[in-house]
Amino acid sequence: MPVICRDCGNLDEGGAPTCPACDGARLIRHPELLDLCIAHIDCDSFYASVEKRDNPSLADKPVIVGHPGGRGVVTTACYVARKFGPRSAMPMFKALELCPHAVVIPPDIAKYKRVSADIRALFAKASPLVEPLSLDEAYLDLSPGVRLVDRPPAVLLARLARAIHTRIGITVSVGLSYNKFLAKMASDFNKPHGFSVVGRAEAKSILAPLPVRALWGIGEATARRMAEQGITTIAQLQALPEAELVARWGKFGRQLAGLVHGIDPRRINPDRPAKSVSTETTFARDIRDATALAAALLPLAEGVARRLDRQNLAGRTVVLKLKTGDFQLITRHQRLTDPTRRADIIAQAGLALLDKLADGRAFRLIGIGITDLCPPDEADPPDLFGR
Ligand code: TTP
Ligand code: MG
């Protein structure tokens, strides 16, 4: 069975417990290792890893990136902090109750964007078909004829992960499989600093015990409704014939029939514009009232949705922008579970962000936008019950 050393990238066929080239113990054995070409790479606790890189005295400390103060939320917690419970999107006060000794660092998005660009430059050396999903994750197509270095994808990925670690200073987790859905799932299997492989022969059995929520396109609401019908695991969906899935869930049932058996026909699409769609308004008179600010936001969200529609785009991160009466610019980001092009979802995220900021201060401008743009076919995965 092929074996790859994650430390030196050596490819071997033997059964030795350590790498014959470098004696490293981080080996990956998998019967399909040389046949799998679709990868998903996701940085580990991205914002926190960048902050630790830039301040090595934080290396072993629990670090939370987010706006300090009672009304902020956690954007990410490092893996030291996660042991105590803090997670992305948790209110900061709660995270600090769980981990009072955490070091809280406000996010520096401009810096994370620079690091992201550095990482993408390394991806680009491996393949021209790289599809970024957000600042810290991307799919790579490493098929023969596509990849830029004629080595097995697993070797390229081991080298890439090592290069990101040594040159950029953060760790990533790699998923290698034969389609996007499974590669993305695999990259999450043994975070941080993971490398997981899902082959064709094992895909169904790996999927079987997982909760339905692990499937692409199934959100919290759908999982809850399925649970009401007694369906909680993928195995239960695998047992239903496609006709039954389609009868129950229409068009989405057909997609589901593929996914539960490890089939995902989506291609890797590198042509994503790296920009945002946004709109804003300056008030005739400064506004302090939270309800009035919220009312101003709704038509703006509609405007963003209209422009997404016109430009045939969707987006994944909602950005709220406010300018105070004394011209202080405030922006807040909310990453959505799935990309969207719907005004109501954009507005909802904007209102949640606004809720934390509208504290009686006077504002002269409000704006809303969406970034992490992507093609519309990935947006708003059908929720089975039409929500
Ligand atoms: P993720 O890749 O979801 O999370 P992560 O990199 O922090 O941790 P993991 O090791 O589990 O991958 O998101 C990447 C960055 O996006 C994250 O570092 C901070 C930001 N982010 C938010 O701002 N809000 C959120 O709700 C989430 C989930 C992430
Ligand atoms: Mg990540």
Residue ranges of the domains in the chain?
A: 3-44+110-197, 210-259, 276-378
Contacts of 348 (CB under 8 A, 6+ apart): none
Model pLDDT for residues 215-253, shown as the tens digit of each residue: 988 877 778 889 998 999 999 999 999 999 988 887 788
Options 32, 51, 131, 137, the catalytic residue: 137
pLDDT at res. 387: 46
Model pLDDT for residues 20-60, shown as the tens digit of each residue: 999 999 999 999 999 999 999 999 999 999 999 999 999 99
What is the distance in A from the centroid of ligand 2 to the CA of 44?
A: 5
The answer to whether 157 and 36 have CB atoms below 8 angstroms apart is: no
What's the CATH class of domain 276-378?
A: alpha beta
Model pLDDT for residues 308-359, shown as the tens digit of each residue: 988 889 999 999 999 998 878 899 999 998 999 999 999 999 999 999 999 9
What is the distance in A from the centroid of ligand 2 to the CA of 292?
A: 36
Over residues 93-106, the mean pLDDT reads: 96
Report the atom number in ligand 1 closest to the C-alpha of 43: 6
380 Rama class: left (phi>0) / alpha (psi -120 to 50) / beta: left
Which is it for strands 172-177 and 277-287: parallel, antiparallel or unpaired? Answer: unpaired
CA distances from 170 to 6, 42, 68, 153, 304 (A): 15, 11, 24, 21, 34
Active site residue 302: no
Q: Tell me the CATH number for domain 3-44+110-197.
A: 3.30.70.270
Atom 21 of ligand 1, nearest CA residue: 75
- Sign of the Cα torsion 80, 86, 87, 93 reads negative
pLDDT at res. 378: 77
Q: What is the pTM of this model?
A: 0.75
210-259 topology per CATH: DNA polymerase; domain 1 (1.10.150)
